[in-house]
Amino acid sequence: MSTLAIRDLHVTVETDQGTKEILRGVDLTINTGEIHAIMGPNGSGKSTLAYTISGHPKYTVTQGSITLDGEDVLSMTVDERARAGLFLAMQYPVEIPGVTNTNFLRTAKTAIDGEAPSIRTWTKDVKTAMSNLKMDSSFAARNVNEGFSGGEKKRNEILQLELLKPKFAVLDETDSGLDIDALKIVSEGVNRAHDNTNLGVLLITHYTRILRYIKPQFVHVFVAGRVAEEGGPELAEQLEEEGYVRFVDESESDT
């Protein structure tokens, strides 16, 4: 078992108005094989948390730690984090003009494993993963995310997840912009990765919709840059009925 531990994490960004603290003491522990949902209103810092875990240079950690089995993640480069087993599926996946999906996946797989995958098994694995995600085979030869629809980009993120086999995946609003069929397909991909490779999942979402298909054991309500409440699946059901009003009001009254 591996453990990703976030302790008292404080993160700032530089804005036109100066330095702004966005994460204000996040504590979170996730083990491989566990599914955690982070739910919270817009602007609460969910994407900031995802980017900070993956090492985006825009975000400065001013206090606290992120460790993976005791190793300091914050001192690792983005590449080292990927090799250590961290994967981020972004809210807005980037296009990579001039690089085909096939080449990108093979290069990433080689970099992460430290050796090139054998061609025969790799070709088969890519085909199987694409067909599981109901992706047309033409997507293999297309440039990464270039001209993909929102839903196609999200599927492509899960394709990477299934092939790269990380220990932990941070999925940032993987449900947004998906129609119901795509949502099911993407969710099945995440569940496969969880069942087959004991993946630890940090599922960031604004809506409870995706939680009908991916079942978290732990739910964390994220408000104003920190975890405001934690519970089991029942907490998500409560949010579905009540929204975030209660938490937002509380966070305003204590500042």
- Type of residue found at 104: F
Find the part of the chain contacting ligand ADP (CB under 6 A) among 35-43, 75-83, 118-126, 241-249.
Answer: 35-43
Segment 189-248, which members bind ligand ADP (CB under 6 A)? none
The item of Mg ion, ligand ADP, none sharing an interface with residue 25, based on CB under 5 to 8 Å by kind, is Mg ion
Which of 26/161 has CB closer to ligand ADP? Answer: 26
- The reply to whether 62 sits near ligand ADP by the rule CB under 6 A is no
- The reply to whether 46 sits near ligand ADP by the rule CB under 6 A is yes
Residues binding ligand ADP: what is the number (CB under 6 A)?
13
- The reply to whether 48 sits near ligand ADP by the rule CB under 6 A is yes
How far is Cα 129 from Cα 135, in angstroms, rounded to an integer? 9
Q: Could you say which of 12, 32, 44, 187 contacts ligand ADP (CB under 6 A)?
A: 44
DSSP calls for the chain: --EEEEEEEEEEEEETTEEEEEEEEEEEEEETT-EEEEE--TTSSHHHHHHHHHT-TT-EEEEEEEEETTEESTTS-HHHHHHHTEEEE-SSPPPEEEEEHHHHHHHHHHHHHSSPPPHHHHHHHHHHHHHHTT--GGGGTSEETTT--HHHHHHHHHHHHHHH--SEEEEESTTTT--HHHHHHHHHHHHHHHHHH--EEEEEESSSGGGGTS--SEEEEEETTEEEEEESHHHHHHHHHHTTHHHHHHHHHT-
Which of 130/211 has CB closer to ligand ADP? Answer: 211
The item of Mg ion, ligand ADP, none sharing an interface with residue 242, based on CB under 5 to 8 Å by kind, is none
- The reply to whether 41 sits near Mg ion by the rule CB under 5 A is no
- The reply to whether 124 sits near ligand ADP by the rule CB under 6 A is no
- The reply to whether 58 sits near ligand ADP by the rule CB under 6 A is yes
Which of 47/251 has CB closer to ligand ADP? Answer: 47
How far is Cα 78 from Cα 208, in angstroms, rounded to an integer? 30
The item of ligand ADP, Mg ion, none sharing an interface with residue 151, based on CB under 5 to 8 Å by kind, is none
Q: Which residues bind ligand ADP (CB under 6 A)?
A: 13, 15, 20, 22, 40, 42-48, 58
Q: Which residues bind Mg ion (CB under 5 A)?
A: 8, 25, 46-47, 91
